[in-house]
Amino acid sequence: MCRLIGYLGNSIRLDELLYKLEHSLYHQSYHPLELKSGFVCGDGVGVGWYDEAGKPFIYRNTIPLWNDPNLQELSQYVKSTSSVGYARLAGIGEPLDISNCQPFRSEKLLFVHNGEIVNFQQTLYRPIRDSLGDSTYHLIKGLTDSEHIFALFVEIWQSSVDSTLVSSLAIALQKLTELAQKYDTSFSANIIVSDGQTVVAVRYAYGTQAPTLYWYCDDLTHPSQVIVASEPLSHQNWIAFPEQSMLFVQADSLIPKISSLESYS
């Protein structure tokens, strides 16, 4: 399983999330403590962030995070109020190709996913594609289940002017569950998505257990930052996501809101 991080708060350099904390994403890439499968996340790295005008940018590479000097240099320069990061552990048979690396981006959205659809190519690969319109179908450049989940989410998000990140993500999970039931498979979906002003994170699974996910807020009364991660980045008081739960936080208040998700089963 991959390792994820998401951030919303005061403007900080990317290296504060990627490298500086005791159990940073850099450290997790070669010494994860709560990985369900595999030993290291050395199959790629990615980071996404927003500039001062709210425009999203991504950096992706197929080499391990611990062996990427370009990202280390970049992260000491780039500052952002919202960012996501990712260290990849490729699924069986997935090629080490840049198109299979996260984050995924569409317009102002940045998206990272940790988990898997069991027997994806034989079960939900075609049904997910069949549910997409032309524009979201052509978003897909790689072969991963993660990118197909992203395309499904974008399809739902674009379907109505009243769509929100929260409602679109909940509907996407419901749709995935219905497809998993129909095609007799299971899946896990830890997801972090941002539009630069809002971050939504979920820990969800159907027919299996979801990977671990945690969140941290520096001050629950007057917060300046909220962080979500697959494993705690530090020895501070991180809070574990219950299974089937969602965190929602907006830049104007930075007050995390936690809610339970239906299992849809």
DSSP character string of 190-216: EEEEE-SSEEEEEEEEESSPPPP-EEE
* pLDDT level of residue 263 (50, 70, 90 thresholds): low
Q: Which residue has the tokens 């990272």?
A: 112
pLDDT tens-digit series, residues 105-123: 999 999 999 999 999 999 9
| Residue 98 domain flag | yes
Q: Show which residues are catalytic.
A: 2
Domain residues for the domain of 155 are 3-260
Instruction: Give me the number of domains the chain comprises.
Output: 1
CA pair distance 161, 170, nearest whole angstrom? 16
* pLDDT level of residue 165 (50, 70, 90 thresholds): very high
CB-based contact 125:148 (threshold 8 Å): yes
| Residue 200 domain flag | yes
Strand order of the sheet with strand 257-260? 104-106, 109-114, 187-194, 198-206, 245-250, 257-260
pLDDT tens-digit series, residues 172-201: 999 999 999 999 999 999 999 999 999 999
The CATH number given to whatever domain includes residue 17 is 3.60.20.10
CB-based contact 24:14 (threshold 8 Å): no
Say if residue 264's pLDDT is above 60: no
Give the predicted TM-score (pTM) of the model. 0.96
Residue 158: the pLDDT is: 94
| Residue 265 domain flag | no
Say if residue 216's pLDDT is above 90: yes
